[in-house]
A and B are shown apart, each in its own frame.
Chain A
Amino acid sequence: MSDSTTHVAIGGDITIGCTVNGEAVAVQVPVRTSLSDMLRAALGLTGTHLGCEHGVCGACTIIVDGAAVRSCLMLAAQAEGSDIRTIEGLAVDGRWHPVQTAMHDHHGFQCAFCAPGFMMTAVAMLEDDPNRSEQEIREELGGNLCRCTGYESIVDGVLAAVATLRGAS
């Protein structure tokens, strides 16, 4: 085996080093652990929710290296060295992110199980490009399922966040 390969045995653990919400962490998990399970079980960041575990519902969406990803469709092992942001890291010093404020203002969510995934999707989208039309917002949110709201309040929340961010820039 060449030195260039990290090789792990079946049933063994793997140590992951990465940054989570600005803090460097090193955590040991079984090799097969998904990134979502690593966040929830090993790091106690239970704000990232599991709705389907096969990549359709979007509840587990987080931001990895600036991009929205499904944390159920990423192994913890794949996150080695990456910069991870979850819902717990969205507010800074207790000050809500404009997306959180906008969701509150617009009664965005009901049961809110889907909320972290929606908000992380929205944050990544607006960081990528804050000028978004309603149709673009709907398409970008199309990978997140909400069973409670019919989406209108969530879309209105993101539209309001767009306005806030525009005003700020």
Chain B
Amino acid sequence: MTSPETHHTGTFDTATQGSGLGAFTGTSVKRVEDHRLLVGDGRYVADVVPPGCLHAAFVRSPFPHARLTGIDTSEATRLPGVVSVITGSDIEELTNPFLPFLALPGLYTPLYHSLSSERVRFVGDPVALVVASSRAVAEDAAELVDVTYEVLDGIGTIDRALDPESEPIWPRAKNNLLYDRTTDHGDVEGVFADADHVFTETFRCPRQSNQPMETRGILVEVDSVTGAVSVRAATQAPHMLRWQIAAYARKESGPQSIRSFLTNPERRGAFLAAAKAFVGDKGEALQSSDSTAMQHQLKTEPRTALQMVRTGAQLLGRDDYPHVDADDIGGGFGAKGSVAREEIAVAAAALAIGRSIQWIEDRMENLMDGGQAREEELTLSIACDADGTVRGLDVDLVLDQGAYPGNPVGAPITVRIMEVMQPGAYRFEAFRQRSRIVATNKGKYVAYRGPWANETWARERMINVVARRLGLSQTEIRRKNMYGDEDWPAAMLTGPALDVTCSVRKTLERAEELADLDRLDALRADAVSRGKRLGIGFASYHEAAPGPPDYFEHVNPGTSALLDQPATASVSVDGTIQIWTSQMPHGQSHETTYAQLAADQLGVAIEDIELVYGDTSRAPFDLLGTGGSRGGPVGGGAVRKVGRHLRSVVVAKAADMLEASVDDVTIERGNIHVAGVPARGLTYAEVAARVVADGETVDGRDGTYAFSVDDTYTSAGDGGWSVATHVCWVEVDVETGIVEIPRYLVVEDCGPIINPAIVDGQVRGGVAQGIGAVLYERAAYDEQANPQASTYMDYLIPTATEIPRIEVDHMETLSPGENDHRGVGEGGMIGAPAAITNAIEDAIGVTVNDQHLPPYRILELMGIIRPD
């Protein structure tokens, strides 16, 4: 009897490329991307500067919170080389305000523009845009823009934001509490009353920042003859950027947009047809979304309705959406899934003056406004029995979204995912969560690799707290309470189905085997002999990557259809093969992994596959692009599906040519032949030539193809959970508070692996960010919301001397569905903060309530120094 999972270690054979056809998937094929990226031939957004291109710099608020009482651009405008200075009031004339993307019942979402004109809400809030001949001159001019402010009280902490008397950052919201909702699952009161113990702790995670090594940036090119607009950007979601530029960067008057809508029947018809095709059979699901959410929004922000109609009419009436393209992107980690206010402002400026403009964010801007995340406070109560059976979970979450909402992905969706995932893989009987979102005068909260990860952090911390109080080991309490194979089918209290892919407990058991726990006492004694304390921390999670088919309906009813992933596969008339994806790679190696999947389907070599992505005039439509660990399972699922589909049509034609049955035709090394008769085979080029000769070519995505097939991978088809257990060993220097990580182990199960080396890289990179979060990185603000970490001297990203080797052990549980690959991009970051803080608590013997533990904090917790 063979078990459904296999074990192998994180090492890999580097010499697997070209080892044979049909066998790429599952091997560490070397990266296709390297051929340009390792020789300096990459094309990142800053690398493309067309002749005559102008450059932009922003004038930004130096105050966390202030009324803007005057702005004088005259001196800046006079500086030689300056072409234009655009202010917030100009932007109100030129553009539409941003609209809410996701409404939650009771959530207040402001309407706001890309530049601020009356009030500034964080240090870095853009109030004017300078366009000049060079970035240096634009910066010179930005210093000459004279802005007068009336300073208001800055709100720098969650406590200050929760004070109902605090200065409201969004006056229409009345105070700084933007959302407050409680949901119950099961008999919470009863379970808490009945349990032997109730333990409660509050956990605090400060602000972090995504910090991709490439900052944000956009180039908006305006064709001086046709006025056509094309955009290059560092974006995780080119179609989203395209739509938002079309919606916001130019304002048509109401009558104008209605007129263009009515007088452009072709466009209107095309849009409605596309919308119908996109909605398809999802119409019913889409309508199931909660209407009370929009009612609340319209009550608190009545202009929303008018703006939605106006922007909608403009979108429907226009047929000159910009063309957006993205090539190489230097990381995102969620931050580039947002459409930035700056991007809209630059596009508006380019449209207004009819010239091409490039804006490349600098690092200070990026640290202020490039995306921040994770600032949450969670109070957890666990009701449990004396034997360690956990029964009830009560969570009070407050999320600090900063000043402006993330667009489109930000605090609201994160809160919903946190609510759904909070109980983890534990068999709780009852669960209650109160969730609040507050506004503060800080940079905006965006998705950051496993955006909901603090549910895992707080829960896994609290599980350890309970274990310590009851005298159980970390692993004992987890094993006792986790779902396992005896439980399927099961469902989380919050709804999503659990099946065999929720193999969390297996990863825990495997981690225990690998952790050499019998050596632990010796390790502890050795550490003590060197003036250190050794600790070990376990943490386990499951994440929806992609999740079971019903997953997103439990997060936000009516929206799971948005997660569908289209793909196209084609054979050109010359026989070359293309795979077209709506994914937007920014470091994940899609060109390699998708080539592996497609090459295996099509019986060709890796280099025979061209991946088309990023260009909105070519790539299939999808609003979300790359994010949410969806590239492997959903994007990859679409590639497999469409690759199989392409193979079937190619084989059908070849069978005709070979006068054989399709069932007898096979493809090896690009040779399409009757099985056993390779000598009489056909190439893709020969089959394509016959298609041309027979007049059977088809219209593909951007021209005529021998074959072109489309498919959509729906999230409601397959799926499953991606899971892991992390184990961290720390050594704490009791004199300095410095924490070292002598060993780190991840046992993960993302199903069958497409490319082990790439999976290992994703896991290790995520763990490194988790180490950064706990020991080094903090997007710090003071009480009044003045930033304290606006350069890389203060925002500390760990280096090669801080990040240890990370052992990765793989389990590969098969799912019942046809597509087994599950996502792995976020997991490292989800598990690491919990494992590290659990290890630190184990080392110092004091309850750890903070996620961020710089050396001074460690000594404070140990009682060696007094807090300031």
**Chain A contacts to B: CB under 8 angstroms:** 30, 32, 40-41, 45-54, 56-57, 59, 86-88, 90-91, 96, 100, 103-107, 109-116, 119, 137-139, 141-155
Contacts and interface: CB of A to CB of B under 8 A. Distances in A.
A90 B589 CA distance: 23
5 contacts: A49-B214, A52-B363, A56-B793, A107-B28, A112-B34
A145 B589 CA distance: 20
Interface stretch (B120-128, B324-332, B462-470): B324-332
Question: Quick one: which of A45, A46, A142 has the most chain B CB within 10 A?
Answer: A46
Contacts of A90: 39-40
B254 interface: no
Question: Quick one: which of A45, A52, A109 has the most chain B CB within 10 A?
Answer: A52
Contacts of B213: 49, 51, 57, 59, 111, 113-114, 145-148
Interface string B803-836: 1011000000000000000000000100000000
A105 B15 CA distance: 8
A116 B330 CA distance: 12
Given A50-B46, A87-B39, A150-B806, 9 more contacts: A46-B47, A54-B791, A107-B31, A113-B44, A114-B330, A116-B40, A142-B799, A153-B757, A155-B800
A137 B800 CA distance: 9
A143 B799 contact: yes
B770 to A, nearest CB: 10
B457 to A, nearest CB: 19
B62 interface: no
Contacts of B586: 111
B139 to A, nearest CB: 11
Contact of A104 (B34, B799, B828): B34
Interface residues of B, number: 58
B34 A111 contact: no
Nearest to A94: B39
Interface in B766-790: 766-769
B42 interface: yes
B761 A148 contact: yes
A109 B30 CA distance: 11
Contacts of B766: 150
B588 A110 contact: yes
A80 B762 CA distance: 42
A141 B39 contact: no
Given A107-B31, A113-B214, A116-B40, A147 B333 contact: yes
Interface string B333-348: 1000000000000000
B800 A46 contact: no
Given A105-B14, A147-B212, A148-B331, A115 B797 contact: no
B758 interface: yes
Contacts of B801: 138-139, 142
A103 B33 CA distance: 12
A105 B765 contact: no
A133 to B, nearest CB: 13
B39 A88 contact: yes
Contact of A109 (B38, B212, B828): B38
B806 to A, nearest CB: 6
Contacts of B800: 137-139, 141-142, 144, 146, 151, 154-155
A44 B363 CA distance: 22
Nearest to B48: A46
A16 B492 CA distance: 67
Contact of B49 (A41, A52, A106, A115): A41
Question: Quick one: which of B38, B328, B762 has the most chain A CB within 10 A?
Answer: B38
A147 B213 CA distance: 6
Contacts of A52: 363, 791-792
Contacts of B799: 141-145, 151
Given A106-B14, A112-B42, A150 B214 contact: no
Contacts of A139: 800-801
Contacts of B714: none
B75 interface: no
B78 to A, nearest CB: 15
B42 A47 contact: yes
A139 B801 CA distance: 6
